[in-house]
Amino acid sequence: MNRLVAGAAALNQTPLDWTGNRRRALAAVSEARELGIGWLCLPELALTGYGCEDFFLSPEVGERALASLRELAPECGGLVVAVGLPLWYEGSVYNVVAVIVDGAIEGFVAKQNLAGDGLHYEPRWFKPWPEGRIERIDLDGREVPLGDLVFDLGGVRLGFEICEDAWVADRPGTRLARRGVDLIFNPSASHFAFGKQRVRERFVLEGSRAFACGYVYANLLGNEAGRIIYDGGTVIACGGEYVAEGKRFSFQDHVVTAATIDLNRTRLQRARQVSHRPLVGEPDELTVRRGFLPEWRGPYTTPLSEASDAPDRKEEEFTRAMALGLFDYLRKSYSGGFVVSLSGGADSAAVSVLVKLMVDLAVEELGEEGFRRKQGHLRLQGRPIMEQILSCVYQSTRNSSETTRHAAETVARAVGADYQEWDVDALVQGYRSMVEAGIGRELAWETDDIPLQNIQARVRAPGVWMLTNIRNALLLATSNRSEAAVGYATMDGDTSGGLSPIAGIDKAFLRHWLRWMETEGLPPVLPAIPELRVINVQAPTAELRPSEEGQTDESDLMPYPILDAIEKHAIRDKKLPLEVWEIMCETHPGHPRESMRAWVIKFFWLWSRNQWKRERYAPCFHVDDKNLDPKTWCRFPILSSSFRDEIAELERA
């Protein structure tokens, strides 16, 4: 038979969930068998979960991973299945893929290029495997090969690139092509970021063309460990042509994608390549040979209509990623719902709307009964789901306006949340009187601006925490990335929460996204929410000073698009103040150079002095490659010179 049916599975796994991870892997294997798939690729580190962090260094975790593999393998009879796990060898841990052939473990392929940038820390736990090296390990009395292997199974040659292996310039696939592989599996744990799926598709397509083979890319799915969201997006290509893609952002436990691979077509393509140089005389030990060939039950290819619409728009990717992230965080944390302190402004409105979209998208895919089943710990009753899942509270002081109160109520009613209004002004005045008595003087806005602003934000925290505890829920903080960059947030006030879902996204985009949700949305599943106009017509304001001062966020800081652009050059690109100012003057000629100088100086000063705040933020979702999370992405010292010399240079320029 010169054709085979290959499959890729996206799995929604949880770190160290041995029983659950194996059950979901077996469910994917079972579906693959039903679809006629003979060759199945499961994701990287699928048996343990990718996010085990330092527990990858636990010898017992390694033992349990092998035990889980031993239980999985016999259930894979009749198939070739690749599954990822950590493997101990000679006192070190390797990121490997186990190759199961007709129910038997026939070898382990080890990852050669470890991901160590951005939010990846693989070199902390794993060792890279050297090219062309093979060792053998004892597995239940059998010698099983480990290393840079190719598998010749009934005349079909299978090789591997494991996630990062395909992202580097010197891809292992180049050598695999010289070794004559017919099929390359890429088991991955590739996190979501805006536009990243198109990059994956390009390396899959180009790999299948340049290496003249079938190429199967598998990925994780969902919010696996808290911060990172995986979008699935399995891809299968053959000879430079895209043949199948799995649904992205699914709320299912697994998604299996299948495609028929024509081996004669790819072999013909390889034979035609004048540049192809076969690797003659390769040591025999680098190839595992078995006579087994899965039964041909094809042809079958997943209809493209079963895949998602592969959203390209940033607005849609953001919506689906955040909805999936919240859905999994809710069920994996066993929280009794969410609570939001709804201010009547853009950030808290965005968080509340995202909870509604989470429910709508999950119900659309799973059905209401499926939603209730997957969130079974909530014990949802007959009332509308949103009333039970989300509670919003508007907390006013004498500086609050009817505009924000009306906006908060309008948003809460529009999303269907439980809604309350509390007057906390007496609490604010109580703290003010207590402190005035303690220091022996009255507080005044002229001399005590920051303390008088911050006490209002902090007074709102205890009550909303109390409501959160009563509901056994999760309090969602509402700070965004732009505010995190300059510390424009009150610690233990508006930053209070167990999860800060939008702390990884900038304010300018959030405001744009809210306008998009007001006017467009994603009909018919997610129609526009015209009530958001009450948010979008306002200038963002903390509303902590007396109303006659007309306080706005941008008057306190700078225009948000300017702030976000400075952050990109200063933090993402690591440029110093003078160069940032020069670039900003070139790219934003509509602003006076002196104003731009003042904004750049303010940014660097506020960035430096507020690192301690970013260290204390609740976990946030990673959605793009400009994250400021110091625990996963952007390291900066808590104490530094605050760029004094560089700022002085800019002031002299």
Looking at the fold, whether 530 and 606 belong to one and the same domain comes out as: no
| Residue 627 scores a pLDDT above 80 | yes
Q: Which amino acid is at 279?
A: L
On whether residue 594 sits in a domain, the answer given is: yes
pLDDT band for 506, please (50, 70, 90 cuts).
very high
3-state SS record for 70-112:
HHHHHHHCCCEEEEEEEEEECCEEEEEEEEEECCEEEEEEECC
Q: How far is 283 from 316, CA to CA, in rounded Å?
A: 50
Is the same domain home to 475 and 545? Answer: yes
Name the pLDDT band for 301 (thresholds 50, 70, 90): confident
Give the whole-angstrom CA distance, residue 68 versus residue 565: 48
pLDDT in tens, 592-626: 999 999 999 999 999 999 999 999 999 999 998 78
Is there a domain that residue 165 lies in? yes
Q: Does residue 529 sit in the same domain as residue 576?
A: no
Domains held by the chain: number: 3
Mean pLDDT for 224-228 is 96
Residue 581 lies in a domain: yes
Instruction: Tell me the mean pLDDT in the region 412-434.
Output: 97
- Distance between CA atoms of residues 544 and 404, nearest Å: 12
Q: Are residues 250 and 374 in the same domain?
A: no
Are 634 and 521 members of one domain?
no
Residue 310: pLDDT above 60? no
Determine contact, residues 134/149, Cβ cutoff 8 Å.
yes
Q: What is the pLDDT of residues 154-189, one digit of tens each?
A: 999 999 999 999 999 999 999 999 999 999 999 999
Domain end residue (candidates: 263, 298, 333): 298
Q: Tell me, what CATH number does 534's domain have?
A: 3.40.50.620
Residue 445 in domain:
yes
Flag whether pLDDT at 279 surpasses 90: no
From 535, 555, 575, give the residue that closes a domain.
555
Do 222 and 326 belong to one domain? no
Lowest mean pLDDT among 216-230, 411-425, 561-575, 621-635: 621-635
Domain final residue pick, 529, 555, 581: 555
Calpha distance 473→555 (Å, rounded): 35
Asked if 274 and 212 count as a contact pair (C-beta separation under 8 A), the reply is no
Question: Is residue 213 domain-resident?
Answer: yes
Taking only the tens place, the pLDDT of each residue in 101-124 is 999 999 999 999 999 988 899 999
pLDDT at position 300, please? 83
* 379: containing domain: 314-555
Q: Give the residue among 598, 22, 93 at the shortest CA–CA distance from 254.
A: 22
